[in-house]
Amino acid sequence: MIGTRIGNYEITSELAQGGMGAVYRGRHINLPREVVVKSILLSSFPPSAREHLKARFVREAYIQSQFDHPNIVRVYEFFTTDENYYLVMEFIDGMSLRDLGKRRGAIDAAHAVPLFKQALAALDYAHHFGFVDESGRQLKGIIHRDIKPANMMLDGKGRLKITDFGIVKLAGESTMTRTGFNPGTVDYMSPEQIRGLEIDARSDLYSLGVTFYEMLAGRLPFLPSETGSEYEVLKGHMELAPPPLSGIKAGIPEGLAAQVMRALAKRPEDRFQSAGEWLDAMLEGEARGFASTGAARQAMQPPTELFDKAATTPATTPMPQASNPTEVYVPAGVTMQAPTARSSPSRFAFIASGGVLLAAVTVAGIIFVPQSEEPMPQAATAPRAADPVTSAPPVMEEARENAALKAARDAEQEERYPAAIRLFEEYMRANPEAPDYPAVRNHVADLKKFNGLLAIAKTFMEKGDYVEARKDYAEALRLRPDSKLARDGLAAAEAALKPRS
C-alpha cells in the first residue's frame, strides 16, 4: 500500500495491520495535510454482513464529518470501492492515555485533572450535539459507549481528543469489543452496559470514572483473576465497591477521590447526571484545592512536561472488533439533560482562560438520542437478595388489564428480557404514583440481575471460557428455573466441557 493513492491522498507508511483492515499514515498530494487512512477489508466479513457494514460505514462517516471543532478528530473524506472502504481522518502526532499510562504508571492529580476537564468538556459537547443523519433527520446527542484510555489521544502539548478508530480488529489487541455484545471494553463498562440494557450519557461517565481511577491509581478498580478470566472484572462492575483510592496511592486529594467514586456508583442516578455537572464539580473542587481537610491547594497545570516529544511515535489507536451494527435509539421520552444556565462562573472562567472545550467522540456504535422534553429516566434500584423469580408479583396479575404491563409480561414470557425491562421501566416512568410501583421496581431489579447473568454467560461462551459460562448459566437457572435460555445455555456449556471421545 505504500505509495498508493486513495483519492487525493498518498499512503506514506503503515501504522497498524489486522485481519480485517489496516491503518495507514498518508498525506494530501496538494495540501500540507497529514492524515490517517483507515482501511476496512470487505472480504474479511461474510457476504451477508457487507451491505449492512457499508450502510453503517457511510452513516458514521456522514455524521462524524459534521463535527467542526479544533479538538475533534475530524473526518475529512471517505471512499468506497468493491473491496475496501477508506476513512480519511485527522492525524495526531502524540500518544494515547493508554500509552502514557504504560510509560509512567500512576499520574499525579496535578497532571490528571487538566486532562479530565478536557474529557468532560468533550463529552458534554457530544452528549448534546445536534446533527443530521444521511436521511435528513434532525437528531441530538451522541453517546460514545467505549470510553477508555486507548480512545483518548494526546498531542505534544497535552491537548486531549476523544476518538475511536472503530470497526476493524487489529492483531494483538486483547481488550476488544465482544462480537454479539454491546460495543465497549469490559474493563471500562458500566453495570448497565454489561447487562445489555439501554444506556445513556451516565454510562460514559462511569467509563470515564474507571479511566480516571486507573490514571490516578496506576491500576484498574477491578482486575481479572490470575488465570486471566474476566469473571471477576464483570462481577466487580456489577456488584462490588471499588477499592478506595486512598488505600492504593497516597497523595490523591480527598475531594477528587470522592468525585471518582461517585462516578463509579452502580446505579446511574447515584452518579453525576451529566458531564457538565461533573465538570462544574471538578472546577469548584479545584478552586478549593479538592481537600476538605484544609490541605494546601495543588497547582493543576497542563501536563506538557509529561511528554518527551523526541520519544513519541505517531499515535494510533487499535480498532475494536466489529460490533453489532444496529443503531440503538433511546425510546421516546428519554433525552439527555440540556446544559442549563446555572453553569458556574468558574466553568466559564475555565473556558475563557484558554482551557479549550474538546469536543470529540467516536461514531463506532454510537447512540442517537432524539430530542424530547421529558426528563432523564430513573434507573431501577439495586437488585435485592437473590430469590427465585419464577412468576410475577401478585400485584402484576391484578394490573393485567394495563396494556403497558401486559406488553412487558408478554416479552418476559417470551424471554425477551431487555425488551421486558424496557417496557416495565416505561410503565414506571409513566406511573410513578401507581400502587404497584414498588413491586414492579423490585421485579425489574430481579430481571436485570438475571439478564446480566445471561449476558455475561453468553460472553464467556463466545470467548471459549466454558467454565465461567457454566457458573453464570447455573446461577441464572437458580434464579429462574423455568428459563429455557438459561437451561439451554447451561447444557451447551457442559457439553463443551465434556472430553471428546
Q: Is residue 389 part of a domain?
A: no
Q: Is residue 474 part of a domain?
A: yes
Query: Does position 255 have pLDDT exceeding 90, yes or no?
Result: yes
Q: Is residue 95 part of a domain?
A: no
| Same structural domain, 267 and 348 | yes
Helices (H), 40-96: 47-64
Q: Is residue 233 part of a domain?
A: yes
| Same structural domain, 82 and 149 | no
Q: What is the pLDDT of residues 54-68, one digit of tens each?
A: 777 777 777 778 877
In contact, 200 and 336? CB cutoff 8 Å? yes
**What value does the mean pLDDT of the chain take?**
74
Fill in the DSSP letter of residue 415.
Answer: T
| Same structural domain, 21 and 148 | no
Q: Is residue 337 part of a domain?
A: yes
Q: Domain of 481: which CATH number? A: 1.25.40
| Same structural domain, 455 and 330 | no
Enclosing H/E stretch for 445 = helix 437-462
In contact, 488 and 481? CB cutoff 8 Å? no
Query: Does position 376 have pLDDT exceeding 90, yes or no?
Result: no
Between 383 and 133, residue with greater pLDDT: 133
Predicted pLDDT of residue 366: 37
Query: Does position 436 have pLDDT exceeding 60, yes or no?
Result: yes
Boundary-marking domain end, from 90, 124, 154: 90
Query: Does position 34 have pLDDT exceeding 60, yes or no?
Result: yes
Q: Could you tell me what percent of the chain has a pLDDT over 90?
A: 30
Predicted pLDDT of residue 306: 60
Boundary-marking domain end, from 63, 90, 117: 90
| Same structural domain, 330 and 406 | no
| Same structural domain, 193 and 124 | yes
Q: Domain of 199: which CATH number? A: 1.10.510.10
Query: Does position 321 have pLDDT exceeding 90, yes or no?
Result: no
Domain with 33 in it: 5-90
Query: Does position 362 have pLDDT exceeding 60, yes or no?
Result: no
Give how many domains the chain has, as a whole number: 3
Confidence of residue 253 (pLDDT cuts 50, 70, 90): very high
Q: Could you tell me what percent of the chain has a pLDDT over 70?
A: 72
Q: What is the mean pLDDT of residues 409-435?
A: 88
Query: What is the rounded CA–CA span in Å between residue 453 and residue 195?
Result: 7
Q: Is residue 312 part of a domain?
A: yes
| Same structural domain, 12 and 68 | yes
Q: What is the mean pLDDT of residues 400-404?
A: 65
| Same structural domain, 117 and 244 | yes
Predicted pLDDT of residue 70: 64
| Same structural domain, 304 and 193 | yes
Boundary-marking domain end, from 90, 119, 153: 90
Confidence of residue 365 (pLDDT cuts 50, 70, 90): very low
Confidence of residue 369 (pLDDT cuts 50, 70, 90): very low
| Same structural domain, 334 and 403 | no
Q: Domain of 60: which CATH number? A: 3.30.200.20
Query: Does position 101 have pLDDT exceeding 80, yes or no?
Result: yes
Confidence of residue 210 (pLDDT cuts 50, 70, 90): very high
Query: What is the rounded CA–CA span in Å between residue 184 and residue 178?
Result: 8
| Same structural domain, 42 and 123 | no
Predicted pLDDT of residue 260: 97
Predicted pLDDT of residue 303: 53
- Of 220-224, 286-290, 394-398, 447-451, the one with minimum mean pLDDT is 394-398
Q: Is residue 374 part of a domain?
A: no
Query: What is the rounded CA–CA span in Å between residue 498 and residue 501?
Result: 9
Q: What is the pLDDT of residues 141-181, one digit of tens each?
A: 888 888 999 888 898 888 898 887 443 333 233 333 333 33
Q: Is residue 384 part of a domain?
A: no
Query: Active-site residues: which are they?
Result: 146
| Same structural domain, 83 and 109 | no
